[in-house]
Structure 1
Amino acid sequence: MDDLTRDLGSRLDALPAPVASPGTPPRPILELTDVSRIYPNGETVVRALDRVSLAIHPGEFVAIMGQSGSGKSTLMNIVGCLDRPSAGSYRVDGVDVAGLDKDQLAALRCSTFGFVFQRYNLLPTLTAAENVEIPAIYAGTAQERRETRSHQLLARLGLGDRAGHRPNQLSGGQQQRVSIARALMNAAPVILADEPTGALDSRSGEDVLALLTELNAEGHTVILITHDPDVAAHARRVVRFQDGRIVSDERHEPEPDRAPLPASRGNGAGGFARFLPDLAEAVRMAFASMGSNVFRTALTLLGIVIGVASVITMLAVGDGGKQSVMERISQIGTNLLIVRPGAAGIRSSGDNATLLPEDSDALKVIPGISAVAPERTGRYTMRFGSADYYTSITATSADYLAARDWSLARGVMFTPADVRTYAPVIVLGETVVNNLFGEDDPLGRYVLVKNVPYEVIGVLAPRGANAFGQDQDDVALVPVSTGFVRVFGRRFVNSITVKVENAGDIPRVEQDITRIITERHQSEDFQVRNTAQFLETAMETQNTLTLVLGCVAAISLLVAGIGVMNIMLVSVTERTREIGIRMATGARMSNIMLQFNTEALVVCGVGGAVGVGLGVGVALLLEYLGVTIVLSLLPALLAFGCAFLTGLIFGYLPARKAAGMDPVVALAYE
């Protein structure tokens, strides 16, 4: 048993043993005192049990008798620790169950109770022997021992040759005997039989009752729930229920003097030593579950396979495309030139006052130039209402967007007229908008920069990070004239961006820029950066493109994960009764969680392995067809890891739902 069961066992063992003396009955193994069970029913309540007091001693054979709705099944659920009383106390071998949590109750059921249900409650996907083994799995019994005991029990009950048959291959009487063998698997001292003959013919019913009588003679405490007086006559004590109350308690004959059976304490294994067998059992059950519905399993696997294969294939194609594009970019270059202050070879701080806005105006006469934008940049605090944000403010011309190939998400850009009239208008980047306005529309509102109000007239389209990892959306644009007067205080620019229409004109345009500004300054106190300096930026852009391709492929993996979660949720619903059976036979919340999480992991793990193979195969096929690809180990490991993680994440919710079920509700599920 695990630590939980050992703790429960220690609590049971710590209780004082009953004093054996002539005429003194042993301590009750089950004792209910003023137990009530109340269910809400609209504005009223239903009292299924009403202040019931009952003591059952070890070795008794008790029949709980009553018509449908009398409360006898509710009593069995409480006695078997499947349900809790609304009021009163219930003790099992002296332990008050009110102080036990769900897992401790499961451990108590595993060690103390064996259930025999009217409808057998056998799992249809397991053989007779495997059904019998279920309680021993949750008791931590080694596989070899439980297989041996399972076959011994079936042989004793006359089913030795039926151990490998599934429930649908057995008659009703045979299925009930399998159910009894399961109840005996952990040598439980108490057997709870709920209408065990209700679904059987008279001959099979007599066989089952004879078997229960024989088990009682061996020392088992037998509690028989029935509405049939002939069935109740097999017990030595009959307790009659009506409207949730005991109306009579008759003993037909005295109980024989014999030693009661002790409660099972499990094998004592816990911690990691217990986890590995539990995990192995969960994996075995996962494959069994997958095999029971092959078509649905194949469809679920298909989503994971496609997702993983897509990640590997698209990353291979993306890396290959990056390699190809970089080769082309290094040859054709770009059509942007940037003029900065400071002589060539001398690093400028950006505050060199050698470049003036008039220099940018002078460059507009050069043929082949489509846009010229002077820029003066600094970082200042911007305020809206009570919110402050420290950002980059750029004073520039109306051609800035054209020069930078930028667009507006909404609103307008300031015009040359705004520049001439020193208009207090501003265009914000997406990051600034998010930090100052959140979800509100910033257009038409005013922000303060150095205590001067500016009207927000536009919002730039988001661009993300540049080649150096800087957030390009963390920016605000103002007219260059307004910036000089109200923000920076001095009339010089940090740079001039020049956009050339054709890449072939770049050398000529660069020479003209150098000539014109040199003539204006009477010295070469500036520098012009050409296309070669932008190659690194282009490479970073391609890396981003490859990442985007991988993310697009990963979306399919995400969708597949959602599909896995959906299938697992459906599986939980379909297997509600199975969950109830496992809980009744001792499964703890962790066992149920482990089982359903493992099933999701197995599905995603198998799908991931197949997807890796398929993705590599498709990539090689594309290479054969002439597409440039770059295969590496990292994407394959990443894709498989994501598939496995998908199973872990998307299997958690269904597993938690299954583990949180009420055993009584689960067992009653149709």
Structure 2
Amino acid sequence: MEDRRRPSTARGVPAVTGGPAEPLLRLTGIRKTYVTDGGVAVEVLRGVSLTVEAGEFIAIVGSSGSGKSTLMNILGCLDRPTAGQYHVGGRDVSGLGGDELAALRCDGFGFVFQHYHLIPGATAQENVEMPARYAGLPAALRERRAGELLERLGLGGRRGHRPNQMSGGQQQRVSIARALMNGAPVILADEPTGALDSASGTEVVTLLRELSAQGHTVILITHDRSVAQAADRVVEMRDGVIVADSGARPRPAAVPAPQPKHVRAGVALLTDAAEAATAAVRSLTANGFRTALTLLGIVIGVASVIALLAIGEGAKRVVMAKVGALGVNLIYVMAGSGDPRLPTTPLTEADGDAIAELPNIESVMPYLDTGIIVRHGNIDHRTSGLATSAALPVTHKWPVAQGSFFTRADERAGAAVAVLGHNVTKRLFPDGASPLGRHVLVNNIPFLVTGVMAKKGDLTGNQDTDDWVFIPLSTGVQRLIGKPELPLIVVSVHDVARLERTRDAIRTLLTERHRQEDFQIRDVTGRIRAATETQDTMTLLLGCAAVITLLVGGIGVMNIMLVSVTERTREIGIRMAAGARARDIERQFLMEAALVSGLGGVAGTVLGVLSGAAIGVLAMPVTFSATASAGAVASAVLVGLIFGVIPARRAAKLNPVAALSSE
């Protein structure tokens, strides 16, 4: 007890200290009227006047309904008088605000209740430490002081026990230790022996006398006159007025009551977070099934956000991979305007040569395909032949896996050479033999195989290009097709940033050559834009559905927090009696709501990842984003905070007296 400290007046409240000319507590004409649910006014206190000097041990005695408990609530700043003045340390506090009264309770008053009023899920150590949390004492100091108090009261071995693991006498001693935690100069004991057997009751009264001898001002509320005789002064109440006052009996000079000091004006955020987390875990585990059902909306909402974003991102990457295979630097010039009423001038190899002269052109690849039958030995394979130029590997960024692609010299000479696609090679040479240097028959015309292309996949969206046979354009026109009319010319550019300018230049050139715009020009950027816009729209729509689910989950969180406020009303009253201000209670319940939602967010993240992974294995590629997961959890916490405001404010507005008396 020697470590108690002096109260701070930084919060705008008087220190609980009496002076030579001013009593510690002074009530003048105190009246208290309650209005029943039926609108009937009941006057409980009828002009009570009383002075209490520092160090006194006073018993206020009276039968049930005499007003003694109401008087104690006003003395302890748990309630306000309807009329009259109440001075603490010389200053009138009857008009102080709620937070100022809470600060005064925290600094100056310790409460010992008939039914102990311990928080059920908290240990003895945690119950004793509670007032110091609201006073802002550091954790190490709180733990040491609480341990010393429990040790002194014979409960050193019970620090980790919860109230239901202790006898009534032990619980009452814990409540006394809690009352002393902040070094309160005034101890208010409301029927402290009423729920105890005679032996435990005697022990508690002895403790109160010891506290009085040490300098504390003790005010004992009791209906038992034998208990009241332990006090130095007995005040009797009847029907809301004081009818007798024995006056103080001579007693040895008391040591001045030690006071707390270095008390901070507010509770640290981390302290709040730890306390809120502990309280939230207790509340959640006490009603696990209900909590799981309530959090289902949050879990599903977060899981939906993560899974849908993963699917959307995966789909985007698939599209981009296909487009990337085509090449983002490509321009497609197609024969025909698309209007059947207009005449069409075919594209020619000369058009391609003219395009190659334009700035920013990397390569020009004519495209002329036809159906063919390719044979090797006794194996026939029906596929597509592509008559093109030696620019194909450059244009499509498509390497040759074996051998080499045909050259421009082969084009000029009309050489009967061919390069096989990956799948054609597997069909014609199933034994894995190399086709290089061998001849295959293309429509019964022998062609020398000079190379095999690397596996590429679908370039056009409707054909497997690994099943093509590539031959020089001149050879294809002369030996297989007969007409040099090109359906398509593929152009690659050096600088993608100038792609639109180059596309316009090609349009201008061909319009001049053909004297009309009888062609179409497309590029991959349009396909990318259209595909990504479609994917973004679908992701947005699905994301909206997920957000709605989150909001529904938020309503569930608000419901569970409202129920929690109702179930924990007495706990809220206990915290207020220990010095918690309205904003401390509000902050605690807000943090509990955030924690509950955060747990739902984490569970939803796990579910979303598992669901997305299953979809990735069974249906389509998915891509997870750490940013999206963190954002989903943060959104869940934000939803919890938003929907936790109403329950938190309801808890903060509870009347301490009404909260303490709730069942």
Question: Shorter-chain TM-score: what band?
Answer: 0.5 to 0.7
Q: Specify which of 534, 544, 555 is matched with residue 562 of structure 1.
A: 555
- What residue identity is the alignment partner of 1:587? A
Q: Which residue of 2 aligns with 1:610?
A: 603
Amino acid at match of 2:64: S
Unaligned runs of 5+ in 2: 1-6, 327-331, 333-337, 340-514
> Does the alignment pair 1:31 with 2:32?
no
Partner amino acid, structure 2, of 1:190 = V
Instruction: Give 1:108's aligned amino acid.
Output: L
Distance (Å, rounded) in 2 between the aligned partners of 1:270 and 1:91: 22
> Within 5 Å, which residues of 2 pair with 1:143-162?
143-162=139-158
**1:583 CA drift (Å):** 0.5
Q: Aligned with 1:251: secondary structure?
A: coil
**TM alignment of 1:530-545, pairs within 5 A:** 539-545=532-538
- What residue identity is the alignment partner of 1:556? T
Q: Which residue of 2 aligns with 1:345?
A: none
Query: Of 244, 249, 274, which aligns to 1:280?
Result: 274
Per-residue deviation at 1:281?
3.3
Map 1:195-234 to 2 at 5 A.
Answer: 195-234=191-230
Q: Give the alignment partner of residue 44 of structure 1, picking from 40, 47, 62.
A: 40
Contact in 1 for aligned 2:12/2:100 (Cα 8 Å): no
Q: After the TM superposition, which of the residue ranges 289-298 and 248-257 deviates more from structure 2?
A: 289-298
- Measured in 1, the distance between the counterparts of 2:519 and 2:649 equals 63
Q: Which residue of 1 aligns with 2:300?
A: 306
For 1:511, the equivalent position in structure 2 comes to: none
Tell me which amino acid in the other structure corresponds to 2:603: V
Q: 280-289 vs 101-110, which deviates more? A: 280-289
TM-score by length of 2: 0.65
Deviation at 1:6, TM superposition (A): 4.1
Partner SS state of residue 616, structure 2: helix
Aligned counterparts of 2:520 and 2:77: Cα–Cα separation in 1 = 81
Distance of aligned partners of 1:99 and 1:526 in 2 relative to their CA distance in 1, 3 Å threshold: farther
SS of structure 1 residue aligned to 2:199? helix
Instruction: Tell me the residue number matched to 2:57.
Output: 61
1:251, 1:98 → 2: CA distance?
25
Task: State the shift of 1:232 in Å.
Answer: 1.2
Greater shift in the superposed pair: 97-106 or 219-228:
97-106
Residue 212 (structure 1) shift = 0.8
Deviation at 1:164, TM superposition (A): 1.6
Higher mean C-alpha deviation, range 246-255 or range 98-107: 246-255
- In the alignment, what sits opposite 1:80? 76
Match of 2:271, SS state, is: helix
- Between stretches 158-167 and 298-307, larger displacement belongs to 298-307
Moved more, 148-157 or 538-547: 538-547
Partners of 1:262 and 1:91 lie apart in 2 by 20
Task: Tell me, in whole angstroms, the C-alpha distance in 2 between the residues paired with 1:545 and 1:255.
Answer: 84
CA contact (8 A) 1:8 1:108 kept: no
Give, in whole Å, the separation in 2 of the partners of 1:8 and 1:75. 28
Cα distance per residue 1:137-185 (max 9 Å; x no partner): 1111121222122122112112222222111111111111111111111
- Larger mean Cα displacement after TM superposition, 609-618 or 191-200: 609-618
2:30 is aligned with what amino acid? Answer: V
Task: Judge which range, 293-302 or 317-326, deviates more.
Answer: 317-326
C-alpha separation in 2, matches of 1:77 and 1:13? 19
AA matched with 2:628: P
- Alignment check: 8 A CA contact 2:28 2:86 kept: yes
How many Å separate the matches in 2 of 1:52 and 1:316?
A: 71
2:165 partner letter: Q
Give the match for residue 18 of structure 1: 19
Identity of aligned residues (%): 56
Q: Does 2:104 align with 1:104? A: no
Letter in 1 for 2:607: L
* 1:59–1:255 CA contact under 8 A, matched in 2: no
1:263-285 deviation line (CA, Å, top 9, x unaligned): 423x34456x8333333333344
The alpha-carbon distance between structure 1 residues 43 and 623, as it changes in their structure 2 partners (threshold 3 A), is closer
Write the letter of the residue equivalent to 1:647.
G
Equivalents in 2 of 1:293, 1:147: separation in Å? 29
Structure 1: any 5+ residue segments left out of the alignment? 20-25, 332-336, 339-523
Task: Provide the residue aligned with 2:651 in structure 1.
Answer: 658
What does 1:279-428 correspond to in 2, within 5 Å? 279-320=273-314
Q: Report how far residue 574 of structure 1 moved.
A: 0.5
Q: TM-score, normalised by structure 1?
A: 0.64
Select which of 121, 126, 130 maps to 1:134: 130
C-alpha distance in structure 2 between counterparts of 1:528 and 1:544, whole Å: 32
Give the C-alpha shift of residue 624 in structure 1. 1.0
Which residue does the alignment assign to 1:379? none
Question: Conserved in 2, the CA contact under 8 Å of 1:60 and 1:222?
Answer: yes
For residues 527 and 73 of structure 1, do their structure 2 counterparts lie closer, same or farther at Cα, with a shift above 3 Å needed? farther
Alpha-carbon distance between aligned partners in 1 of 2:69 and 2:218, rounded to the nearest angstrom: 15
State the shift of 1:196 in Å: 0.6
Task: Compute the RMSD of aligned alpha carbons.
Answer: 3.2
